[in-house]
Chains A and B, each alone.
Chain A
């Protein structure tokens, strides 16, 4: 059973009680969302059915299919080129393929709008060169459903790339050689063995990308695409109907759970695909035109996903740096940093607690509780925000009522619209990011290490401070950084829950872009992208390490 199975032990009991309280509080917003289905469906539903609901469902589905296909194509090609082949420039490409991760979808969306719009540089020069007028030529509309698919695919493919690349590298070379030995050519081997074997990694990567797609609000809202998230916003802000918004959230969660199941299933399958002792890499050497083609494909993907939009942002930011680099911008920076630091610290503390819980209690109930607490990564920020809003508003009303009854003093909305609520929502959304990092750091410390330290006379506290913390330090810092950056980029949660007149980089970027002030939006956007590069550098470092152990 468990190391502390004796329930008589007071520490064990207190520990468990805290675990269940933490889990319950974290799960509350999602439970509220589902509970909303039990409430009567308002007349707004009638309206939704007749007008936009079909749009929400079909557009979200088309978006998922499109982004699924796009990330699959880009991610698997990138993984194949850098994981299995060798050509000049491969090493640089293998980390450059991760750069688009630093680019939030709503930022790339508005940047490309600026580049490709009627008044943008591309169409301007086309008209200049060919002497065309408006209406003389066809040019694809960026602000469309297919535009959103392209934008999301360009920044979300790294999820697929990372997982599939590892899958390719860890594939036993013997299996690929066995295929050659049984008479299959290299291309047949790719499609009949290498890609099918990487299927679990592909499914896991695409599921993650699709979770982000469902969570996206900025891109679809900016492009005017009617998807679930924009619908929830409109129901809440336009119709003022929080219950219906929550019910919409609950239907969105059905899609999310399908993805969670797909991802969990494929991670389990991954185990079966790792039983090889022989992992010496034998990369396919590409020469001549093949090498040039491979390099060009790589450069094209990285340019579209990062270099062109980041370059455009830098240009725009530079043109207005004098006006925009002012006290306002500094307060944006300060707000964002303070908020992100606070949220990442909270995440870290809870993550350490949960990770140790997993380690100490190894039984099903406790593991289940930890699992529930870390489900937030899949839940769209919009859903969490609505789920937080409802119970907090209820609590505010109760406090107000009691206060009025007892002290004849109205408290108004005490909690709603505070930083605390916003941080609470972030913790729910990003706890799993911190937990995964801390947990993997902690599993590296084998129980025998604890036991040997204890047998050498160390007290549990001393084991923690002298053994665990030094070993965990990197994981803890990584967890802080990852959550910090995620919070900085998060748009919908902040939009819904931020205190009145409280702005962050992400919110300001989105507001300016929505007001068609694209050039002014560039500075805060660029700040987000640059800070977003930090975790990419971290991942790059781990990729380089993995390479040095593999080669």
Chain B
């Protein structure tokens, strides 16, 4: 399969300050990618560079085998086959839904244009609102019309800038799943930007995690969660605690945490390691002799999330069924299940 989008060591600067440095990332045809990171990490800047709104100062961006952005040449936004769904949807308030969708189809004849508009409305399941104006639509409808408008000219790639952030929480997850299946069914290559990992996990095949203008890790959602490559990734993705633990040459951990198989360890680990413990790495087991003091707990509906103190006072999370209800200050019997534990050298 061919790479549809290639970012090769792209740097984008605002004035003298680089907003993104040396970003390298690619998507094959039909793949859905995601730029994930905290606000201000440069993810939106990178998306805007792909759309042609920001020039690159080093590196290159190519789309479908053609360079669209190099330091010397930035192809105008209107000349690149890039569709974009904006954060606030940016529907034209003075045009109705039909005309919004038809806006980018000026090269088609009247009949072809109408056909395409109907096709797009059917695609997003909103044929009934064709004559309405944007302010007469609900948030979710606007989002889908924005999607239809961006897809109407059949772009080589679809960019989505925080596409769900203007919607309420309930609608968000539902729409994310819908949009993903719609894009997959139509084999659309897409790249979205978000700060919300749940959205990223729900939508993307491949996630680039950004921190302070750098791509720190590119991986599948599964690997990003379970194999974070850095403290930042471990901290940003999912819940968990990073603790300092002593370790001996045989792989035996301090704090009675059990042992680690040595082949999962880096070669030159020292006397202590930083250990990422996810809530699902510590399991409740009422037959266990290992008992930890409960510092706090919160009720999540199906689960309790306990915060437990190790012997040396460091805190770790533990997720149990919500039927396991033990008071704060008492002890919880647990079993360490360190299969997913990620180890960082304390360098």
How would residues 143 to 185 of chain B score, 1 for a CB under 8 Å from any chain A CB and 0 otherwise?
Answer: 0000001100100000000000010000000000000000000
The answer to whether B94 has its CB under 8 Å from any CB of chain A is yes
Q: Which listed residue (A180, A199, A277) contacts B94, Cβ 8 A?
A: A199
The answer to whether A175 has its CB under 8 Å from any CB of chain B is yes
Determine if B90 and A175 form an interchain contact, defined as CB atoms under 8 angstroms apart.
yes
Interface size, chain B (Cβ < 8 Å): 30
Q: Which listed residue (B76, B83, B87, B149) contacts A180, Cβ 8 A?
A: B76
The answer to whether A172 has its CB under 8 Å from any CB of chain B is yes
Determine if B103 and A182 form an interchain contact, defined as CB atoms under 8 angstroms apart.
yes
The docked-state distance in angstroms from the alpha carbon of A476 to that of B309 is 62
Determine if B135 and A275 form an interchain contact, defined as CB atoms under 8 angstroms apart.
yes
Minimum C-beta distance from A347 to chain B (A): 36
Instruction: Tell me the residues in window 265-297 of chain A with beta carbons closer than 8 Å to chain B beta carbons.
Output: 272-273, 275-278, 282
The docked-state distance in angstroms from the alpha carbon of A276 to that of B149 is 18
The docked-state distance in angstroms from the alpha carbon of A197 to that of B91 is 11
- The listed residue with most A CB atoms (<10 A of its CB), out of B52, B53, B94, B104, is B94
How would residues 177 to 200 of chain A score, 1 for a CB under 8 Å from any chain B CB and 0 otherwise?
Answer: 111111111000000110011010
Minimum C-beta distance from B336 to chain A (A): 46
The docked-state distance in angstroms from the alpha carbon of A174 to that of B166 is 14
The docked-state distance in angstroms from the alpha carbon of A385 to that of B12 is 65
Minimum C-beta distance from A164 to chain B (A): 14
Q: Which listed residue (B78, B88, B135) contacts A183, Cβ 8 A?
A: B78
Determine if A177 and B51 form an interchain contact, defined as CB atoms under 8 angstroms apart.
yes
Instruction: Tell me the residues in window 101-116 of chain B with beta carbons closer than 8 Å to chain A beta carbons.
Output: 103-104, 106-107
How would residues 60 to 100 of chain B score, 1 for a CB under 8 Å from any chain A CB and 0 otherwise?
Answer: 00000000000000001111001110111011111100000
The docked-state distance in angstroms from the alpha carbon of A269 to that of B135 is 10
Residues of B within 8 A of A199 (CB): 94
**Closest A residue by C-beta to B136:** A272
Residues of B within 8 A of A180 (CB): 52-53, 76-78
Minimum C-beta distance from B47 to chain A (A): 11
Q: Which listed residue (B82, B91, B107, B166) contacts A181, Cβ 8 A?
A: B82
Minimum C-beta distance from B161 to chain A (A): 8
Determine if B149 and A182 form an interchain contact, defined as CB atoms under 8 angstroms apart.
yes
A: interface residue count bin: 20 to 34
Residues of A within 8 A of B83 (CB): 181
How would residues 239 to 278 of chain B score, 1 for a CB under 8 Å from any chain A CB and 0 otherwise?
Answer: 0000000000000000000000000000000000000000
Instruction: Tell me the residues in window 126-149 of chain B with beta carbons closer than 8 Å to chain A beta carbons.
Output: 133-135, 149
Determine if B78 and A181 form an interchain contact, defined as CB atoms under 8 angstroms apart.
yes
Residues of A within 8 A of B91 (CB): 175, 178
Please judge, given known A-B contacts A272-B133, A275-B135, whether A178 and B86 are in contact too, CB under 8 Å: yes
Residues of B within 8 A of A172 (CB): 88, 90
Please judge, given known A-B contacts A180-B77, A182-B153, whether A277 and B87 are in contact too, CB under 8 Å: yes
The docked-state distance in angstroms from the alpha carbon of A184 to that of B153 is 12
The docked-state distance in angstroms from the alpha carbon of A18 to that of B289 is 83
Determine if B103 and A272 form an interchain contact, defined as CB atoms under 8 angstroms apart.
no
The docked-state distance in angstroms from the alpha carbon of A177 to that of B103 is 13
Determine if B104 and A177 form an interchain contact, defined as CB atoms under 8 angstroms apart.
no
Please judge, given known A-B contacts A182-B103, A183-B153, whether A276 and B88 are in contact too, CB under 8 Å: yes
Determine if A178 and B90 form an interchain contact, defined as CB atoms under 8 angstroms apart.
yes
Determine if B90 and A276 form an interchain contact, defined as CB atoms under 8 angstroms apart.
yes
Determine if B135 and A272 form an interchain contact, defined as CB atoms under 8 angstroms apart.
yes
**Closest A residue by C-beta to B152:** A182
Determine if B53 and A183 form an interchain contact, defined as CB atoms under 8 angstroms apart.
no
Determine if B78 and A185 form an interchain contact, defined as CB atoms under 8 angstroms apart.
yes
- The listed residue with most A CB atoms (<10 A of its CB), out of B76, B79, B88, B153, is B88
Known: A185-B76, A196-B94. 7 other contacts (CB 8 A): A174-B86, A175-B93, A180-B77, A181-B84, A182-B104, A193-B94, A199-B94
Kindly list the 7 A-B residue pairs having the minimum CB-CB distance in the complex, ordered from nearest. Answer: A182-B104, A174-B90, A180-B77, A272-B135, A178-B90, A174-B86, A175-B90
Interface residue ranges, A against B (CB under 8 Å): 172, 174-175, 177-185, 192-193, 196-197, 199, 272-273, 275-278, 282
Interface residue ranges, B against A (CB under 8 Å): 51-53, 76-79, 82-84, 86-88, 90-95, 103-104, 106-107, 133-135, 149-150, 153, 166
Interface CB pairs A-B, < 8 A, 7 = A179-B103, A180-B52, A180-B76, A181-B78, A181-B104, A182-B78, A282-B53
